[in-house]
Every structure is written in structure tokens, then in C-alpha cells.
């Protein structure tokens, strides 16, 4: 019996938000070993934004945008990609990719707290349990002695948490902001504006811009995969899934991505996985499960 075409597309889309987004932590870690972080992120989003603009033009989508929508795209692009992703990539210089992914998994927790503060939204019992588990898991994760003694690790961990906060606020902001009606067009403007802001930031900070011909082969492949698959394919898949399956199922990427990131970091980069990290991961992801289960909140996954 032939599998329906729609079912195949759904399976491929889930593969994209599970595996592709889960692998972006590893790819960023590989690329940042040679390229300055803000230059790296700038290249990724300018290329991805250009690709999406070309596709949107080919699909004959309306690219017109109002002044207010442009300002909102720039602001959300800053929250998601300039700070949320650019600073995150910088922090990966001091933190393992799998560890960073675990910190990023606390995004649903931050969103709930922000919704409580901004909208005074009442929390359900399962959400409170999830927040409690998240706090416990994060404490166990960051209290490891081996990590504390490594130079720059504490700063890296703290900055990643601020990145998660930025991405979480961006998710709340976008849910109410006046943006282009077509998600594809909105994403293109966000990525292009973020890429330009990241290039300006890189220039101000005096980062050395390295031409692609001088990149190591592993870095070139990482950038191609990040731009084409991590930014274009996975974002499109995420948007598609929100339309055809429940938001609860889509949000499961919040606790699948860290598992993918940890395994890939261990297998490819020989990143150590301590028993304390495993315990913290189990508690953290259980907390995320409690938060995301049976909730009709469209959460844009973090750090991709």
C-alpha cells in the first residue's frame, strides 16, 4: 500500500526540525573554530535571506512591505538572529555544542515566565511542575565543578541564557507584531536585516573577515548546511507543520534537538558527556515535556 504524499512530506518536515535543527549546534561549533562568530552568523543569514527572496520572487509572492512591518522585521531579526543566534555562536567558543543545546531547551520555560509577566497569563499545574523541574535541571547542569574551573565557561553559560531570553521575548513579540502576512516573506526580511546588522557588529568589533576560499573544507560545508538546510529548509518545514499538525507535536523539537546535539557533539567532536549532564538532561527535558504538553502555543524553536 502506497504511503500518502502528505504523510511523506510531514515525516520529512519533522526530520528537518528534529535532526537538521539539532545538528546546527554542531555545525556552528565547527564553523566558529575558524571564523569570527558575528562574521559567521552574518554570512549565514545574508545567504539564507537572499535564497528565500529568490524563491519568494520565483513563487510570485508579494514582497511589498510597510514601514512599520519593516521596523518590526528588523527588531524581531535582532532578537532572534543578531542577539539570540549571533551571541549564542560566540558563546560556543567556550561551551560544548551539546551543553549549549541543553541550555537552549529551557526556552519554553522562559516564554511561560514572560507571558506571565507581560500578559499576566495564568499558569497551569503542569507548567508549574515543568518550571520547577527546569530550574532544578539547570542548577544541576551548571554546577558541575569541571565546567566551573574552565576559563570562559561561566561567561559562555550566562550569555547563552541571555540568548534564550532574547529568543523567547522575540517569540512573544512576533505573536502580536504587524509583520508581512506571508511567513516566507517575513522570514526573508528578518534574515536579511539580521545579516546586515551582524556584519555591522562584526566590523565595529574589528573581527577579521576571512574569504570563503580560505575556509577549511569542514567550515565551508558547515556554512552551506547552516544556510541552506538550517535556515531555509528547516524554517519552511516548521511553518508547514504548524498548519497541518498540532502545535504540541511541533513543539516536541524543543526536547528532541538537545538529544541530537549531544549525540553529534560526542560522536563528531568527542565532547565529553558526564553522568551529571545526563541527569540534568533528563530532568530538563522532562520539565520541557510538562510545559509543552497540551498547550496551544506556537513556539518558534530557539538558536537555529
**How far, in Å, CA of 54 to CA of 73, rounded?**
18
Q: pLDDT value at position 195?
A: 96
Assigned domain for 304 exists? no
What cell numbers appear for 212 in the block?
A: 570563503
Distance CA 288, CA 297 (A): 13
CA distance 91 to 156: 5
pLDDT for 296 equals 47
Instruction: Flag whether 58 is in a domain.
Output: yes
258 falls within a domain? yes
- Does 160 map to a domain? yes
What's the confidence (pLDDT) of residue 297? 46
Residue 301, domain member (yes or no) = no
Q: In degrees rounded to 5, what are phi and psi of residue 214?
A: -100, 0
Higher pLDDT, 150 or 158: 158
Residue 302 placed within a domain: no
How far from 130 is each of 107, 125, 138, 291, CA to CA, in Å? 12, 9, 12, 5
Does some domain include residue 207?
Answer: yes
- What global pTM score does this model have? 0.84
Judged by average pLDDT, the poorest of 102-106, 149-153, 195-199 is: 149-153
pLDDT band at residue 82, thresholds of 50, 70 and 90?
very high
* Residue environment code for 134-149, b if the CB has 16+ CB neighbours within 10 A, otherwise e: beebbebbbebeebee
The yes-or-no verdict on residue 57 having pLDDT over 50 is yes
Least confident of 102-106, 182-186, 241-245, 279-283: 241-245
**Helix or strand run (H / E) with residue 217:** helix 217-224
Dihedral sign for Cα atoms in the order 72, 247, 117, 302: negative
114: containing domain: 5-292
Domain annotation covers residue 299: no
Best CA proximity match to 38, nearest among 82, 7, 99, 74: 82
Number of domains the chain contains: 1
Confidence of residue 147 (pLDDT cuts 50, 70, 90): low
Amino acid at each position: 500500500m502506497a504511503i500518502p504524499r502528505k504523510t511523506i512530506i510531514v515525516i520529512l518536515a519533522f526530520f528537518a526540525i528534529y535532526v537538521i535543527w539539532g545538528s546546527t549546534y554542531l555545525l556552528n561549533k565547527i564553523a566558529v573554530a575558524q571564523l569570527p562568530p558575528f562574521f559567521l552568523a552574518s554570512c549565514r543569514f545574508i545567504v539564507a535571506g537572499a535564497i528565500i527572496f529568490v524563491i519568494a520572487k520565483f513563487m510570485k509572492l508579494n514582497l511589498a512591505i510597510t514601514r512599520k512591518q519593516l521596523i518590526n522585521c528588523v527588531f524581531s531579526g535582532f532578537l532572534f538572529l543578531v542577539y539570540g543566534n549571533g551571541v549564542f555562536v560566540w558563546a560556543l567558543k567556550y561551551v560544548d555544542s551539546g551543553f549549549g543545546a541543553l541550555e537552549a531547551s529551557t526556552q519554553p520555560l522562559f516564554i511561560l515566565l514572560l507571558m506571565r509577566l507581560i500578559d499576566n497569563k495564568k499558569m497551569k499545574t503542569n507548567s508549574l511542575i515543568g518550571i520547577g523541574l527546569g530550574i532544578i535541571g539547570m542548577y544541576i547542569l551548571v554546577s558541575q565543578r569541571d565546567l566551573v574551573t574552565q576559563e570562559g565557561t561561566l561567561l559562555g553559560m550566562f550569555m547563552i541564557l541571555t540568548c534564550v531570553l532574547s529568543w523567547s521575548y522575540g517569540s512573544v513579540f512576533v505573536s502580536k507584531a504587524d509583520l508581512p502576512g506571508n511567513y516566507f516573506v517575513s522570514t526573508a526580511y528578518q534574515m536579511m536585516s539580521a545579516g546586515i546588522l551582524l556584519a555591522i557588529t562584526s566590523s565595529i568589533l574589528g573581527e577579521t573577515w576571512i574569504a570563503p576560499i580560505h575556509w577549511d573544507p569542514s567550515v565551508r560545508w558547515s556554512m552551506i548546511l547552516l544556510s541552506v538546510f538550517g535556515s531555509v529548509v528547516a524554517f519552511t518545514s516548521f511553518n508547514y507543520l504548524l498548519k497541518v499538525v498540532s502545535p504540541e507535536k511541533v513543539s516536541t523539537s524543543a526536547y528532541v534537538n538537545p538529544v541530537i546535539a549531544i549525540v553529534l557533539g560526542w560522536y563528531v567532536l568527542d565532547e565529553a558527556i558526564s553522568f551529571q549532564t545526563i541527569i540534568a538532561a533528563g530532568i530538563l527535558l522532562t520539565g520541557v515535556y510538562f510545559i509543552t504538553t497540551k498547550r496551544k502555543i506556537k513556539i518558534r524553536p530557539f538558536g537555529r
